[in-house]
């Protein structure tokens, strides 16, 4: 059996940026198996030495040296990792000099901001936006739609809830969602549901392929009318007809990740990023 | 007034990786004002030409050329952007050759995976984990604690809910949360609440400085006992006493972002990343 290649994600703060970098590269090497190790909060030379020892031990044990993705701003700390026996890809090492040149400025010394001393308002807006998404999930309340940046609509199990939460957590966007029920779709045939009428400009539709919807619904309620293919197909057709005929922007999410759905909605609806 | 420097985030897919890269660099230049423009889904030479035209227009209008952070795998597309009048920082341009050398392998051609053809199981586990967090939020249900990877505990408004949602969305971690009420803290003084007893190993405490808690609670219920400084201080002291005396790992989240809280919990509790 082929040995897995060890991948270290190292940072003085969280390893999220290092992981994002690593994954955007490694995803293009489908045939290699990786063994990921995350080492956050490496913010002293001492901790860097410990991490380098761990890297070197891996390099000695395996046929190929480990690969390191890192975001280490402090040069002393970074140097320890760069001198290890791993193959190091560091964002600051690769880009910091060039960006200082481009900006005609040295970076602010210290790593305080990378350590998360966010300003209160940015933190608050994300938490507030998540709480908004929770209060306005699945049509449970429609009275705060005035405050919504966007209102996602779609039949049951088209990814509305996770997308709203992600929009709140990642971008500080106030996203409500409203499920299109059979009543909305059949009885009020071809009409935008009354409660949504005043917010036509905020609506964004989500749809999915019927095969996929059937699979998702079957996990929740197997062998039910709700999860039958015919039912899924009918609801989706009615919902899509509504989107098209009422000129509501919409998206088929069948093979999209939550990030991609959220980014696409941001783009198509020209929503402002309130936080990142 | 100083003009803002335009920053473009360009990608053939979502711009999330490009934004992560850009922000991890720009956060260290506190004194410069930036004007961000996101351009996702630039996946053809034609779209790249349009984007380059937008970049060049900005370069002509402003004193300094715009800065471009990009993740453009396809060389033809990338070349168009690299030849624009912006200053381009592209992840693939910077790292792809070196990582191909390190892996002794060419990257898989095509950008299908970057386009989000995730495997089903990874998508499902994140959605399932988010739904788990919603069902097990704020102590509303405790019967599924067997399935929890971690159970966050803390007094009201210590960031439990957003952290659980983030752990689910980002890492596929099943995170429940249980609010420590006055009853838990006073009447059952110094005891782990009965419902949590069987899950001692899964508990993780969140705490916060009383000044900050007072501010957060005051936004919700001003001039109440709940938001009084004395009350905040007392509840936090009791909760922290519980964490320390029962050897429950805990974290003071006062100046941390949700990402940092989540990453720290992952690290301290050695939780496996189920998705990224």
Contact yes or no for B206/B150 (Cβ under 8 A): no
pLDDT of residue B185: 84
pLDDT of residue A119: 53
- Measured in angstroms, the CA of A153 and the nearest CA of chain B are apart by 18
SS3 of chain A: the string is: CCCCEEEEEEECCCCHHHHHHHHHHHCCCCCCCEEEEEECCCCCHHHHHHHHHHHHHHHHHCCCCCEEEEECCCHHHHHHHHCCCCEEEEHHHHHHHHHHHHHCCCCCCCCCCCCCCCCHHHHHHHHHHHHHHHHCHHHCCCCCHHHCCEEEEECCCCCHHHHHHHHHHHHCCCEEEEECCHHHHHHCCCCCCHHHHHHHHHEEEEECCHHHHHHHHHHHCCCCCCCCHHHHHHHHHHHHHHHHHCCCCEEECCCCCHHHHHHHHHHHCCCCCCCC
Contact yes or no for A238/A257 (Cβ under 8 A): no
pLDDT of residue B117: 40
Helix (H, G, I), strand (E, B) or coil at B85: coil
Neighbours of A53 (CB within 10 A): 11
Contact yes or no for B20/B51 (Cβ under 8 A): no
Dihedral over Cα of B18, B21, B25, B31: its sign: positive
Q: Is A72 on the interface with B (CB under 8 A)?
A: no
> Among B102, B108, B119, which would you mutate to test the A interface (most chain A Cβ atoms within 10 Å of its Cβ)?
B102
Contacts of B50-59 spanning 24+ positions with Cβ under 8 A: B51/B8, B51/B10, B51/B80, B51/B81, B51/B84, B52/B80, B52/B81, B52/B83, B52/B84, B54/B8, B55/B8, B55/B81, B55/B84, B55/B85, B55/B86, B56/B84, B56/B85, B56/B86, B58/B6, B58/B8, B58/B86, B59/B84, B59/B85, B59/B86
Q: Is B221 on the interface with A (CB under 8 A)?
A: no
- Measured in angstroms, the CA of A11 and the nearest CA of chain B are apart by 11
Which residues in B lie closer than 8 A to residue A257 (C-beta atoms)? 116, 118, 123
Which residues in A lie closer than 8 A to residue B73 (C-beta atoms)? 28
Q: A16, B263: Cβ pair inside 8 Å? A: yes
pLDDT of residue A203: 98
Q: A89, B99: Cβ pair inside 8 Å? A: yes
Query: Would you give the end-to-end CA distance of chain B in angstroms?
Result: 42
Domains and CATH numbers, chain B: 5-103 (3.40.50), 120-268 (3.40.50)
| Residue spans of chain A under pLDDT 70 | 1-3, 109-123, 188-189, 276
Q: A71, B273: Cβ pair inside 8 Å? A: no
Q: Which of residues 79-118 of A touch B (CB under 8 A)?
A: 87, 89, 91-92, 94-96, 98-99, 102-105, 107-108, 113-114, 116-118
Q: Give the residue from chain B lying closest to A260, CA to CA.
A: B14
Considering CB atoms only, which of A30, A40, A169 is closest to B267?
A40
Q: Is A135 on the interface with B (CB under 8 A)?
A: no
> Among A2, A8, A13, A24, which would you mutate to test the B interface (most chain B Cβ atoms within 10 Å of its Cβ)?
A24
d(CA B253, CA B255) in angstroms, rounded, equals 6
For helices A120-135 and A160-171, angle between their N-to-C axes, nearest 10 degrees: 170
In sequence order, the 6+-apart residues with CB closer than 8 A to the CB of B157 are: B208, B213, B216, B217, B220
Q: Is B130 on the interface with A (CB under 8 A)?
A: yes
Q: Is B23 on the interface with A (CB under 8 A)?
A: yes
Considering CB atoms only, which of B36, B89, B107 is closest to A29?
B107
d(CA B66, CA B58) in angstroms, rounded, equals 7
Q: Is A20 on the interface with B (CB under 8 A)?
A: yes
pTM for this structure?
0.81
pLDDT of residue A115: 38
Q: A108, B28: Cβ pair inside 8 Å? A: yes
In sequence order, the 6+-apart residues with CB closer than 8 A to the CB of A100 are: A106, A107
Q: Is B234 on the interface with A (CB under 8 A)?
A: no
* pLDDT tens for chain B, residues 1 to 276: 456 899 999 999 889 899 989 989 998 888 888 999 999 999 999 999 999 999 999 999 999 999 999 999 999 999 999 999 999 999 999 999 999 999 998 888 654 444 344 455 666 788 889 999 999 999 999 999 999 999 999 999 999 999 999 999 989 999 999 999 988 887 766 789 999 999 999 999 999 999 999 999 998 899 999 999 999 999 999 999 999 999 999 999 998 888 889 999 999 999 988 875
ipTM: 0.81
- Measured in angstroms, the CA of A123 and the nearest CA of chain B are apart by 7
By C-alpha distance, which of B165, B115, B121, B148 is closest to B274? Answer: B121
pLDDT of residue B121: 61
């Amino acid at each position: 059996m082929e040995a897995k290649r060890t991948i270290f994600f190292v940072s003085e703060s969280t390893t999220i940026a290092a992981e994002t970098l690593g994954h955007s590269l490694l995803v293009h090497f489908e045939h290699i198996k990786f063994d990921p190790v995350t080492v956050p909060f490496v913010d002293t030379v001492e901790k860097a030495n410990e991490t380098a020892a761990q890297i070197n031990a891996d390099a000695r044990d395996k046929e190929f040296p480990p690969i390191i993705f890192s975001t280490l701003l402090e040069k002393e700390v970074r140097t320890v990792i760069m001198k290890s026996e791993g193959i190091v890809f560091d964002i600051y090492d690769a880009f910091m000099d060039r960006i200082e040149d481009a900006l005609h400025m040295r970076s602010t010394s210290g790593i305080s901001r990378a350590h998360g001393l966010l300003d209160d308002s940015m933190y608050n807006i994300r938490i507030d936006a998540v709480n908004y998404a929770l209060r306005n999930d699945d049509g449970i309340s429609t009275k705060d739609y005035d405050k919504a940046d966007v209102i996602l609509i779609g039949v049951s199990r088209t990814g509305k809830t996770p997308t709203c939460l992600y929009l709140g957590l990642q971008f500080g966007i106030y996203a409500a969602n409203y499920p299109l029920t059979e009543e909305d779709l059949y009885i009020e045939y071809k009409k935008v549901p009354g409660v949504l009428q005043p917010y036509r400009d905020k609506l964004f539709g989500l749809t999915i392929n019927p095969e996929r919807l059937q699979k998702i619904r079957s996990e929740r309620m197997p062998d039910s009318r709700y999860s039958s293919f015919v039912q899924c197909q009918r609801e989706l057709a009615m919902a899509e007809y509504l989107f098209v005929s009422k000129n509501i922007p919409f998206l088929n999410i069948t093979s999209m990740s939550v990030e991609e759905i959220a980014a696409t909605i941001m783009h198509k609806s020209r929503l402002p990023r309130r936080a990142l």
